[in-house]
Amino acid sequence: MRHHLDDIHVDEEENEINLTPMLDVVFIMLIFFIVTASFIKEVGIDVNRPDAPMTQSKPEESNILVLINSNDEIWIDRRLIDPRAVRANIERMHAENPEGSVVIQANKSSTNKMLVQVMDAARQAGVYNISIADSN
C-alpha cells in the first residue's frame, strides 16, 4: 500500500507545470520595460493655455503688446525696454488692465532666447495668459 502511494506522489510531482521558462520570459520583459522606461521630466512654458481663447477673438486694446525686433530689442508701448525691465513694465500695464493678456509679436529673425525671456517676465508679473502673434 505504501509503495502505491509513493507512486502516486511521484506522478503528481511530474505533472506540476515547470515555471522556469515563464519566469525567464517575464524577467526579460521586465528588463525590457525597465530599460525603455524613460522618465523624462521636461520643463517648459505653455504657449497657449488650453482653456485660453485665441488672440483673434479678443479686443485689441485689452492686450499688452510686446514687440521683439530683429535685433532682439524689446519694445513695449513704443518705448525700447531693457530686458531686465520687461517684468516691471508688464506688471505696471497689467495693474492698469488686469484682464489683458500678453501678446508677443516677434520678428522672424529674433532669437527664441528673447522670446522665452519675455514670456518668463510676463509670468513673473502674474500674467499667465500669453499668446504669440503671427508675424506676417
Interaction residues for another protein, span 90-129 (CB under 8 A): 106-113, 115-117, 119-120, 123-124
Q: Which stretch binds another protein (CB under 8 A): 7-15, 57-65, 76-84, 91-99?
A: 7-15
The 10 Å Cβ neighbour count of residue 92 is 13
Q: Is 41 exposed, middle or buried (0-12, 13-18, 19+ CB in 10 A)?
A: exposed
- The answer to whether the beta carbons of residues 89 and 118 sit under 8 Å apart is no
Q: Which of 11, 43, 57, 61 binds another protein (CB under 8 A)?
A: 43
- Compute the least distance from the CB of residue 6 to another protein, in Å: 6
What is the DSSP secondary structure assignment for residue 125, as one 8-state letter? T
Cell of 112: 527664441
Is 73 an interacting residue with respect to another protein (CB under 8 A)? no
Q: Which of 57, 52, 61, 127 is nearest to 88 (CA)?
A: 127
By CB under 8 A, the count of residues binding another protein is 44
Grid cell in block for residue 84? 531686465
Query: Contact residues for another protein (CB under 8 A)?
Result: 6, 9-10, 13, 19, 23, 26-27, 29-30, 33-34, 36-38, 40-48, 50, 68, 106-113, 115-117, 119-120, 123-124, 132, 134-135
